[in-house]
Amino acid sequence: MAIFKPTYMINNTFELNPEKLKLMGITHILSDLDNTLIPWDSPDITPELKRWVSELEKYHIELVIVSNNNYTRVHKAVASLNVKIIARAKKPLPFAIRNFVSMSSVSKNRVLFLGDQLMTDIIAGNLAGVKTVLVKPLTDTDMKKTRVNRFFERPILKLIQSIYKTTWKDKI
């Protein structure tokens, strides 16, 4: 079950405090896009996301978007944020994350992988050996293929919470 276990469970992405992350030694956040940073059905970035990204910059934490979506969709959404994009990442496979880690020669324990889905994001991050953060999705609705994952996800998440005594926290 360890493969499903997020290192942290946080109610909302924007409760991840860049100053505290820096103190924890985090230098890179690799993050899912849809429903983690922006609602999946929205084409635009929010003021909240913008503020959070500029806070990350202030603490020299690099944000990289790692999405299973295609480059055009991801780039369109985040073009105004100065961030790297890894598109068609094929999560839950860990290769996109592993490649990034080895190419930027950063130590794995300085990397956080952030996402709203156990079955893709958390598994990918765990397989790649980085720290993982599960957040609650920004909208209640999901893409069709995501709905299938959610169906399996709910009982697994319950089990994880009871085995590891982990619960949702308000912030890091």
Residue ranges binding Mg ion (CB under 5 A) = 32, 34-35, 116
CB of 141 to Mg ion, least distance (A): 12
CB of 58 to Mg ion, least distance (A): 26
Instruction: Return the number of the residue (106 or 127) whose C-beta is nearest Mg ion.
Output: 127
Burial 16-32 (b: 16+ CB within 10 A, else e): bebeebeeeebbbbbbb
Instruction: Return the number of the residue (102 or 139) whose C-beta is nearest Mg ion.
Output: 139
Task: Quote the CA–CA distance of 62 and 82 in Å, as a whole number.
Answer: 10
CB of 19 to Mg ion, least distance (A): 26
Burial grade of 116 (CB within 10 A; 0-12, 13-18, 19 or more):
buried
CB of 80 to Mg ion, least distance (A): 20
Instruction: Return the number of the residue (34 or 153) whose C-beta is nearest Mg ion.
Output: 34
Phi then psi for 127, rounded to 5 degrees?
-65, -30
- Token reading at 158: 């319950």
**Side chain identity at residue 73, one-letter code:** R
Instruction: Return the number of the residue (32 or 153) whose C-beta is nearest Mg ion.
Output: 32
